Chains A and B, each alone.
Chain A
Amino acid sequence: MADPFEVRMRFTSQLQHLSASTTAAQKAANYALKNREMDEDLHSCILEQLERNSMNNRANIMYFIEHLCEASQREGHVEFVRMVQRDILRVVDAVAPGDGSGAANVRVVRRVLQGLQTREVLLPDTVSELETVLKSRDIAPSHPFIAETNGEKQRSNGQRLDKRQIEQRIEEDRERHKRLRENIWAVSGEGDDEFNKLWDEASELGDDDYLIGKEDAEERKKVIEFG
Chain B
Amino acid sequence: MAGTRRAQDIDQWRPEEPSIRDRDRVRPRERVDSRTASPGPRAARDDRRRGTHDSDSRSTAKHARGRSRERSVSRERARRRSRAASRDDDRYRPSRGRAPSADGSSQAQQHHNHHHHRHHRDTSLLSKRLRTRSPSPHRDSFKRAKRLRSRSTQRSRSRGRHASSSHRPSDRAFPPPPARTDRDRPARRPTPDSYVPSLAARRRSRSADSHYRAVSHRTRKRSTSPDRRPRRDESPRRRSPRRQDRHHRSPSLEDTARRPKYAHRHDKDRSRSRASRHARSRSPRRRRSPSPARRRSRRRSRLDRHSPRRSRSPRASVRRASRSRSRSRSPLRPKHSKRSDKDYETDKHSKANPPASRRGSPTPESGHNSDSQRSKKEDGKMRGGAYHQQGRAHSNYSHSPPYATPNQFSPGTHSPYGNARGGWSGPQHPHQGSPGHEYSPNQSPYQQNNHNYSPGQQGQYYNNQQYQGSQQQVQPGFQGSPYRGGFRGNYHNGSDRRLSGPGSTPGYQPASGGRGRGAPPTQFSNLSWTPSAGTRGGRPATEAPRHSASQPATSQPGTTDAASSAVDADDNPFRPSKDLRVEDEGAKEDKKMPPPPSKPATSTSQSKGFSFSLKTKAPLAASSQKDVTEPTTKESILDPKPRTAPPREPASRYPAGRSDRDRDRDRERDRERERDRDPRDRERDRERERDRERDYRERDRRFEDYDKYGHYDRRANYRDTREPRDARDTRDSAFYRDREYRDNRDARDRDPRDARDAHPRDPRDTRDPRDRERREPYPPSRRPEPRPDTRPERRDAPQETPRTRIVKKTRVKPRPTLSTEFAASESVYYRKPGNESVVGSGTYGKVFKGVHVYTKDMVALKKIRMEGERDGFPVTAIREIKLLQSLNHANVVQLLEVMVEKNDCFMVFEYLSHDLTGLLNHPTFKLDMGMKKDLAKQLFEGLDYLHHRGVLHRDIKAANILVSNTGQLKLADFGLARFYAKRSRLDYTNRVITIWYRSPELLLGETQYGPAVDIWSAACVLVEIFTRHAIFPGDGGEINQLDKIYNVLGTPKVEDWPGIRDMQWFELLRPTERKESTFEEKYRERVTPAAFELLSAMFLFDPAERPSASEVLDHPYFVTEQPPPKRAEALKELEGDWHEFESKALRKEKERVEREGRRKEREGRGGEGEKRRAGEAPEPEREAKRVRSGGEPGTGQSQG
Q: Is A107 an interface residue (CB 8 A)?
A: yes
Given A144-B1051, A144-B1072: A215 touches B987 (CB 8 Å cut-off): no
Tell me the residues in window 192-217 of chain A with beta carbons closer than 8 Å to chain B beta carbons.
200-204, 206-208, 211-212, 215
Rounded to whole angstroms, the CA-CA distance of A201 and B1037 in the bound complex is: 34
Instruction: Check if B989 sits within 8 Å of A178, measured CB to CB.
Output: yes
How far is the CB of B1071 from the nearest CB of chain A, in Å? 5
List chain B residues, Cβ under 8 A from A181: 987, 989
CB under 8 Å from chain B, chain A span 105-159: 106-107, 139-140, 143-147, 150-152, 155-156
In whole angstroms, how far apart are the Cα atoms of A177 and B992 in the complex?
14
Segment at the interface with B among A30-38, A86-94, A163-171: A163-171
Query: For the complex, what is the distance from the CA of A208 to the CA of B950, rounded to whole Å?
Result: 8
Q: Kindly report which residue of chain A lies nearest to residue B1063, judged by CB atoms.
A: A145
CB closest chain-A residue, reference B945? A211
User: Mask for A165-188, Cβ within 8 A of B = 1, else 0?
Assistant: 011011001100110110010000
Report whether B1051 and A145 are in contact in the complex, using a CB–CB cutoff of 8 Å. Answer: yes
> In the complex, how many angstroms separate the beta carbon of B1103 from the nearest chain A beta carbon?
16
The yes or no answer to A161 lying at the interface (CB within 8 A) is yes
Q: Is A104 an interface residue (CB 8 A)?
A: yes
Q: Please, which residue of chain A has its CB at the minimum distance from the CB of B947?
A: A208
Q: Are B1005 and A203 in contact (CB under 8 A)?
A: no
B947-993 residues at the A interface, CB under 8 angstroms:
948-950, 981-984, 986-987, 989-991
For the complex, give the distance between the alpha carbons of A164 and B1051 in Å.
Answer: 22
Question: In the complex, A166 Cα to B1003 Cα: how many Å?
Answer: 12
- Say whether B984 contacts A201, CB under 8 Å: yes
Query: Given A173-B1005, A173-B1065, A203-B983, are A144 and B948 also a contact pair (CB < 8 Å)?
Result: no
Contact partner of A200 (CB less than 8 A), chosen from B984, B1039, B1057, B1065, is B984
In the complex the two chains form, what is the Cα distance from A146 to B1052 in whole Å? 9
Q: What chain B residues lie within 8 Å of A215 (beta carbons)?
A: 888
A206 CB contacts on chain B under 8 angstroms: 982
Shortest C-beta distance, A9 to chain B (Å), equals 31
B1174 within 8 A of A: no
Interface check B1074, CB cutoff 8 A: yes
The answer to whether B989 touches A174 (Cβ under 8 A) is yes
Complex interface: chain B residues within 8 A of A208 (CB): 948-950, 982
Q: Is B1068 an interface residue (CB 8 A)?
A: yes
Q: Scoring B residues 1041 to 1076 as 1 if CB is less than 8 Å from chain A, else 0, what string do you get?
A: 000000000011110010011001111111111100
**B799 CB–A CB distance under 8 Å:** no
B948–A211 CB distance below 8 A: yes
**A139 / chain B contacts, CB cutoff of 8 Å:** 1061, 1066-1067
A140 touches B1039 (CB 8 A): no
A42: interface (CB < 8 Å): no
Q: Which of A145, A152, A207 sits near B1053, CB closer than 8 Å?
A: A145
Cβ-neighbour of A140 out of B990, B1007, B1057, B1067 (below 8 A): B1067
**Nearest CB of chain B from residue A147's CB, rounded to whole Å:** 8
B987–A177 CB distance below 8 A: yes
Does A71 count as interface, using CB distance less than 8 angstroms? no
**How many chain-B residues does the 8 Å CB contact rule pick out?**
37
Place the interface of chain A in its size category: 35 or more
Tell me if A212 and B949 are in contact (CB < 8 A). Answer: yes
Residues of B within 8 A of A144 (CB): 1051, 1070-1074
Consensus secondary structure, chain B interface: loop
B1192 within 8 A of A: no
> Considering the chains assembled together, what is the distance between the CA atoms of A40 and B1073 in angstroms?
45
Residues A145 and B1039 in contact in the complex (CB < 8 Å), given A104-B1067, A208-B949: no
A145 touches B989 (CB 8 A): no
Question: Could you say which residues of chain A place their CB within 8 Å of the CB of B1068?
Answer: 104, 161, 166, 169-170
**A202 to B948 CA separation, bound complex (whole angstroms):** 15
With both beta carbons as reference points, the residue of chain B lying nearest to A150 in the complex is identified as B1074
| Residue A29 lies at the interface, judged by CB distance under 8 Å to chain B | no
Bound-complex Cα distance A166 to B1042 (A): 13
A103 at the interface (CB under 8 A from B): yes
Most buried by A among B950, B1038, B1057, B1068: B1068
> Which one, B1005, B1054, B1061, contacts A170 given CB within 8 A?
B1005
Chain A, Cβ-Cβ closest to B1101? A145
Report yes or no: A155 in contact with B981, Cβ–Cβ below 8 A.
Answer: no
Interface contact A107-B1064, CB-CB below 8 Å:
yes
The answer, among B991, B1069, B1072, for a CB contact under 8 Å with A166, is B1069
CB neighbours (8 Å) of B1038 from chain A are 166-167, 170
Q: How far is the CB of B479 from chain A (nearest CB, A)?
A: 43
In the complex formed, the residue of B with least CB distance to A226 is: B2
What CA separation (Å) do A166 and B1037 show in the bound complex? 10
Identify which of residues 1-43 in chain B touch chain A, using a CB-to-CB cut-off of 8 Å. Answer: 1
Q: 0/1 per residue, B1070-1086, Cβ < 8 Å to A? A: 11111000000000000
- Find the B residue at minimum CB distance from A200: B984
Of B986, B1052, B1061, B1066, most A-chain CB atoms within 10 Å? B1066
Nearest to A197 among chain B residues (CB) is: B984
CA distance A219 to B887 in the complex (A): 11
CB distance from B337 to the nearest CB of A (A): 51
Which of B983, B1005, B1070 sits near A204, CB closer than 8 Å? B983
Q: Which residues of chain A are within 8 angstroms of B1039 by Cβ–Cβ distance?
A: 163, 166-167
Note all chain A residues with C-beta closer than 8 A to B1061.
139, 146
Which of A177, A201, A206 gathers the greatest number of chain B CB atoms within 10 Å? Answer: A177
Q: Decide if B987 touches A184 in the complex (CB within 8 Å).
A: yes
Contacts of B949 in A (CB 8 A): 208, 211-212
Q: Which residues of B contact A155 (CB under 8 A)?
A: 1072-1073
Taking the nearest CB of chain A, how far is it from the CB of B897, in angstroms? Answer: 15
For residue B983, which residues in chain A have a CB less than 8 angstroms away from its CB? Answer: 201-204
CA of A180 to CA of B1008, assembled, Å:
14
Q: How far is the CA of A2 from the CA of B1037 in the complex (A)?
A: 45
- In the complex, which residues of chain A have a beta carbon less than 8 angstroms from the beta carbon of B986? 184, 201
Residues of chain A contacted by B981 (CB below 8 angstroms): 201, 203
B1051 touches A103 (CB 8 A): no
Contacts of B1074 in A (CB 8 A): 144-145, 147, 150-151
Closest residue to A100 on the B side, CB-wise? B1067
The interface residues of chain A lying within 8 Å CB-to-CB of B1070 are 140, 143-145, 156
Closest CB of chain B to A209's CB: distance in Å? 9
Q: How far is the CB of B978 from chain A (nearest CB, A)?
A: 12
* Chain B stretch 801-817: residues in CB contact (< 8 A) with chain A: none
Q: B994-1026, CB under 8 A of A: which get 1 and which 0?
A: 000000000001010000000000000000000
- Knowing A104-B1067, A107-B1064, A145-B1053, say if A150 contacts B1073 (CB, 8 Å): yes
Residues of A51-66 whose CB lies within 8 A of B: none
Nearest residue (CB) in A for B1003 is: A170
* Chain A residues, CB < 8 A from B991: 174
Most buried by B among A104, A106, A144: A144
Cα distance A6–B716 in the bound complex, in angstroms: 82
A residues less than 8 Å from B1053 (CB atoms): 145-146
**Which residue from chain A places its CB closest to the CB of B1075 in the assembled complex?**
A144
In the complex, A208 Cα to B991 Cα: how many Å? 27
B1046 to chain A, nearest CB (A): 9
Residues of B close to A152: CB separation below 8 A:
1073
When the two chains form their complex, are residues B1072 and A156 in contact, meaning their CB atoms are under 8 A apart?
A: yes
Q: Give every chain A residue within 8 A of B1 (Cβ-Cβ).
A: 223
Q: Are A143 and B1067 in contact (CB under 8 A)?
A: yes
Q: What's the Cα separation between A151 and B1057 when bound, in Å?
A: 19
Q: How far is the CA of A167 from the CA of B1035 in the complex (A)?
A: 13
A171 to B991, CA, bound (A): 9
Which B residues lie within 8 Å of A104 (CB)? Answer: 1065, 1067-1068
The docked-state distance in angstroms from the alpha carbon of A151 to that of B1038 is 23
List 12 additional A-B contacts (Cβ < 8 Å) besides A146-B1053, A163-B1037, A166-B1038.
A103-B1067, A143-B1067, A143-B1070, A144-B1070, A144-B1074, A150-B1074, A152-B1073, A169-B1065, A181-B987, A203-B983, A208-B982, A211-B948
The 5 closest A-B pairs by CB, nearest first: A203-B983, A103-B1067, A104-B1068, A144-B1074, A104-B1067
* 9 residue pairs bridging A and B, Cβ less than 8 Å apart: A106-B1067, A166-B1065, A167-B1038, A177-B987, A177-B989, A181-B987, A184-B986, A207-B948, A208-B950
